[in-house]
Structure 1
Amino acid sequence: MSEKKTGLPKFLTWIMMGFVMVGLLGFGAVSFNGSIQSVGSVGDTEIPVDDYARGLQNELRASEAQFGRVLSFSEAQAVGIPDRVLSRLVQEKALENEAAAISLSVGDDAVRNQIMEINAFRGLDGQFDRQNYQLSLEGAGYTEAEFEAAIRAESARTLLQGAVLAGNTMDDVATETVLAFLMETRDFTIARLSEENLTTPVADPTDDVLNAYYTDNIANYTQPERKDITYAVLSPDMLIDQIQVDQAALQAEYDNRIDQYQQPERRLVERLVFIDQAGATDALSQITTGAKTFEDLVQARGLTLDDVDLGDVARDALDAAADAVFTASVGDIVGPFDSDLGPALFRVNGILDAQTVTLEDARSELEDELALDLARRQIDAMIGQVDDTLAAGATLEELEADYGLRLGRVEYHANTLDEITAYPSFRQAAEAVTERDFPTLKMLEDGGIFALRLNEIVAPAPIPFDEARETVLSDWRADEIAAALTSFGNDVATGAVQLDLATEEFTGLRRDEFGSSATPAILAKAFELEVGQAAAITDGSEVVVVTLNAVNAGDVTSEDAATIRNALSSQFNATLSNDMYAAFARQIQARAGISLDQQALNAVHANFQ
């Protein structure tokens, strides 16, 4: 192996390792041993047929997690998986070709070190194991020479890519311009209009008006395509009334949870730990004299109150501080006392009295839980027999008669939500079932069982007007009121109508400082207006008149501005680097030339069909 430019930065090494290990260990061997050696080339660098096949296999397996099932190859083509794999390989080979053209490579030692770092090649002693190395490569369809060449090529690509991406800095003008825009603030006033403000109430509609509205908006009153499904279900809740809980089991469960039912007196406590006794004593003195508060001391340590919160603690958890904490009143600060982390001050935030729940008080809760557990076990014992009965051709109706499953029927669609369709497992089965499927037994999340049958697919159909009338009337009124309020609001905004309305004043709000009153829609409108201008907008169920009072330059010297400036600078620099890399990649591909062998690609595709 010839050694040219060597050395691979550590972070680039790990990027390369991720690429190699996905290809090597993720999904097994793919190998084409015929006369076809490549599916194309970029310049003088070939795209090996095995690389393309292996990349396709990896992407297809990865798509299973995304789609929840194995895609057929035609489906993979429809979502662009082969094109994506080929595009990535073309880019990689273009970088390899360019690296070779400028004599960029890594030496034998770098390749060896990278191989030694791969955990899959290590033995039980944590050291590199040649046998593991050879077996792993064999399983992934690599020879040693091919794998080492792949690592060398990937290393060169990573070095070249890193050189293009690193050190690109956008001019500060862009950052400062956008920062000034983002830090700008507005002072504005809003007045809210409601139906009560209308001088002319919305009249009741005639049936003809409602029918016309219903027809114009028929999509809103059309039931979606539904699946007419019959199901049989048995849940633990259905059996709970038939189960008697043994008294001994009840007592045993109560004893197992004694810490839950018998809790000692506790305190809500915060603890601030110091390096030494002197520091803790000095801090207590500052609190006692009023020079500082407990919160000041916490903040001075770079902590938050959440960081020092111990929650509710019993006496035996406080060691030396126990007596003082348990005799203190709420708000008292005691200490310093030794703790497992060092001298500490303790603040008492609450007192929780001891609690005792007797067996009789807990009986109902325990009986229900134990009965549900017994019901689940009873159902679990039935599964094999019920499953065999279904497999032998039994109907759902027979399951109801023979095993006590409850028969039901539902017209299922994505928005259906009732007792049975609330179970995710039922929804998943209902989505997947076809008219060709036979009922099979499936589990519910609560330990129950069910099976279902698709009777028919019901086409979308309008809900009859008489059934939808109340909804149509409500929708019509809402639209009419919104239209009337918008028109009225425009008159108020232009001054055509004078009203003494309650107003809300907002000052110094940035574009992103919206809240429950100054909503995103209101804030966006304030930033569109000129000073002194007013406009009416619909905001949820209200119409709001927004009047702009002032435009203020933002404070670009604040801590917030510094944080935003750094984020903008990083974003611009990353965008510049990515754009430069994209241009570089296009340029080297165009210069080298790309040649693809469609016959070879088709041969690979045929192996996946």
Structure 2
Amino acid sequence: MISAMRRLAGTWFAKALFILLILSFAVWGIEDMVRNIGRDTSVARVGGEAIEAQEAQEATTRELQRITRALQGNFTPNPTIRRAVAEQAVESLVIDRVARQEAQRMGITVPDETVRAYVFRIPGFRGLDGRFSRDSFNQFLRNNDLTESGFLALLRADLSRQQLSGAVRAGASVPEALAARILAWQLERRTAALVELDFADAPEPEPPTEAQLSRFHENNAARFSTPEFREIAIATLNAERMMASIEVSERDIEDAYAANRDQYGAPERREVFQALVPTEEAARDVARLWREEGTEFPAVETAAREAGGSATPLGSVTRTEMPLPALASAAFALAAGGVSDPVQTPFGWHVLRVGTVQPGETQPLDAVRDRIRSTLAAERAADEAFDRATRVEDTLAGGATVAEAARRHELGFAEARIDAEGRAPDGAEVPLPVPAAARAAALRAIFAAERGAAPRFQEGEWGFMAVEVREVIPPALIPLEEVRQQVTEAFVADARRRFQEERAAALLAALRAGRPMAEAAAEIGTPVEVLGPFGREPGGGNPMPRELLAPVFELPVNGATMVARPRSFAVVQLLSIQPAELGEAAEALGALRREMAQTMAEDLEAQYQAALRARADVRINPRVVQQIAGSE
């Protein structure tokens, strides 16, 4: 037997079999390595540089926490929201990499002294004495899972990108002629003649015959039918429900306040104007002109343009919103109305002027203590809700009913016969264990569920909710005898509406045929109201009804139109157009130019980022994005 096995071991078949066995054990031992060959685990690549999933996950988590804080805990992200936040976080990281690579390509650097000075100026890192606090800085790093070197690297990259974006934004300027045209459009006023034909003023129609009433009843079945009702059981869980049981210590509140001090108040804002020219000599000439009494911004614009540069209003900005740290230091060292000495940056020589100054303020801890407690409780409740939701989902998957799962896990629970408006058959509103703001969304989910389907603990605006549809009662036409009064009233109202519609259409036809409004209206016995002059914006004493403003401002002089309103038909004819008097609107023109320049600067920056992204080799891994969105 042994000799036979030895002879077999010497054959090619046996050798091949041994090789296969060895390979199978080898692959078994390095399964993970083999499985991942050829698969990229990064969430994106920009020009060959990887953005790892961990970085994207941290960015997504920070954004979700920021939204939760901003909404004071009234936020429970569903899968769609988490996916959108994850995609936005990845896209932000992509733009960050694209801009960082462009800054490196252009050789833009940020010295250590600049980074250090910028850190010392961040309000959130200051102590009660107004000086830089190492404890606050360290607390910030711990709360955001950052190392000091990692944070400084992020800050350095951000400052280099600011130099890029600052240069792009500095080119945003709005010609006075363009702003004047837009302001003239905004301030244009019009006068119009209006005739309103109220349905209630129509004559009483002939009483309907039985045949007419029956036909109207059948043709408008949706108006005279019972709604669909559903016999349901629902169980809910949300952070708001759990917050009462969450404890937040005083130490937690103090730490959160120290780490986010800049969120509890408003930073100082300054109205800043900038002139950017290529040489120091030209900058000194602009500064000298700007300091002369009575010099207006248009004169500075002209001087900067003649020197080969430009002048731009930067709007009302905080220190951190200034495009470059050097410019921020110069602008925030000036008094209101002051003009800076020339400041050199990689983009040229800048001269700044400060307009109005809005002082900053920071609320004391006692003023925001309850708000911080509520925010922290909401964050912790949201985490606990996710853990409990997993256990509830397991219970439902094991075959438990919604009622059993609610009892076992202390969920909000309700059983009801309900329509899509949330009412019972007797018309009373059915109470549901969901936040009031999420009631409409919960009702939509209830009426989207299938009868007999296994309940699942779904996440949505309501938090988590499981729906069990026990029975569906379809709509049914109510017999005419039971709704005769309602059908008769609806028939009469419809007849009155049709009567006024015909009169309005005849009046409009007469106006378009060239007849005067007063004459045509007199023939049908209705008064004419002349309104105006009025502007485009509704409210504020504007006499023209809101829904008629847009149609009126599309009409030529003597043009007419007809508009259906909730309780009437309106026929309106434009009588005259009053152009704006821009000579008395210098302040409004200046404000509009600044607003347009700010918008244009944002558009330029967005287009610049899009161009950089299009030029870069960007590849996003949707599978990893989905994993990030689904992780907790």
Calculate the TM-score normalised by the size of structure 1.
0.52
Whether 1:464 aligns to 2:467 is no
Structure 1 distance, partners of 2:140, 2:199, is 74
Contact 1:486 1:536 in 2 (8 A): no
- Residue aligning to 2:553: 527
Once the two structures are superposed, what CA deviation does each residue of 1:121-148 show, in whole Å capped at 9, x if it has no partner? 6778876565765565356443332222
Q: 1:458 to 1:591 in 2, by over 3 A?
A: same
Whether 1:537 aligns to 2:589 is no
Structure 2 distance, partners of 1:123, 1:130, is 9
Amino acid at match of 2:478: P
Match of 1:147 among 129, 151, 159: 151
Calculate the TM-score normalised by the size of structure 2.
0.50
**1:19-418 alignment runs, 5 A limit:** 38-43=42-47, 45-61=49-65, 68-72=75-79, 75-76=80-81, 80-117=84-121, 133=137, 137=141, 140-194=144-198, 202-221=205-224, 226=229, 228=231, 411=418, 413-414=420-421, 416=423
Once the two structures are superposed, what CA deviation does each residue of 1:51-78 show, in whole Å capped at 9, x if it has no partner? 2111122334456659743534xx446x
Structure 1 distance, partners of 2:623, 2:211, is 66
Structure 1 distance, partners of 2:218, 2:587, is 54
Amino acid at match of 2:581: D
Match of 1:569 among 583, 588, 593: 593
Shift of 1:115: 3.6
**1:413-428 alignment runs, 5 A limit:** 413-414=420-421, 416=423
Shift of 1:521: 3.3
Greater Cα offset, 174-183 or 480-489 = 174-183
Whether 1:595 aligns to 2:610 is no
**1:426-437 alignment runs, 5 A limit:** none
The root-mean-square deviation of aligned C-alpha atoms, in Å, is 4.7
Greater Cα offset, 590-599 or 428-437 = 428-437
Shift of 1:106: 1.9
Unaligned runs of 5+ in 1: 1-34, 232-394, 396-406, 438-452
Structure 2 distance, partners of 1:183, 1:157, is 39
Contact 1:190 1:503 in 2 (8 A): yes
Shift of 1:204: 3.2
Match of 1:507 among 532, 536, 540: 532
Structure 1 distance, partners of 2:565, 2:50, is 60
Structure 2 distance, partners of 1:40, 1:230, is 44
Report the identity percentage.
Answer: 23
Structure 1 distance, partners of 2:553, 2:191, is 10
- Residue aligning to 1:480: 495
Structure 1 distance, partners of 2:126, 2:198, is 72
Contact 1:63 1:70 in 2 (8 A): no
Match of 1:546 among 572, 579, 583: 572
Contact 2:192 2:531 in 1 (8 A): yes
Aligned pairs, how many? 385
Q: 1:223 to 1:102 in 2, by over 3 A?
A: farther
Once the two structures are superposed, what CA deviation does each residue of 1:431-490 show, in whole Å capped at 9, x if it has no partner? 6999999xxxxxxxxxxxxxxx98846455245243454444433433332222121122
Structure 1 distance, partners of 2:184, 2:139, is 60
Structure 2 distance, partners of 1:107, 1:94, is 21
Once the two structures are superposed, what CA deviation does each residue of 1:343-394 show, in whole Å capped at 9, x if it has no partner? xxxxxxxxxxxxxxxxxxxxxxxxxxxxxxxxxxxxxxxxxxxxxxxxxxxx
Q: 1:185 to 1:140 in 2, by over 3 A?
A: closer
Q: 1:96 to 1:477 in 2, by over 3 A?
A: farther
- Residue aligning to 1:608: 631
Q: 1:196 to 1:58 in 2, by over 3 A?
A: closer
Secondary structure of the corresponding residue to residue 145 of structure 1:
helix
Unaligned runs of 5+ in 2: 1-38, 235-402, 404-413, 456-466
Once the two structures are superposed, what CA deviation does each residue of 1:542-563 show, in whole Å capped at 9, x if it has no partner? 23332333233232333xx445
Secondary structure of the corresponding residue to residue 105 of structure 1:
coil
Once the two structures are superposed, what CA deviation does each residue of 1:561-591 show, in whole Å capped at 9, x if it has no partner? 4455345423432332232222211221222
Whether 1:585 aligns to 2:609 is yes
Secondary structure of the corresponding residue to residue 570 of structure 2:
strand
Contact 2:44 2:618 in 1 (8 A): yes
Contact 2:560 2:572 in 1 (8 A): yes
Match of 2:504 among 474, 489, 494: 489
- Residue aligning to 1:518: 544
Shift of 1:207: 4.5
Secondary structure of the corresponding residue to residue 553 of structure 2:
helix
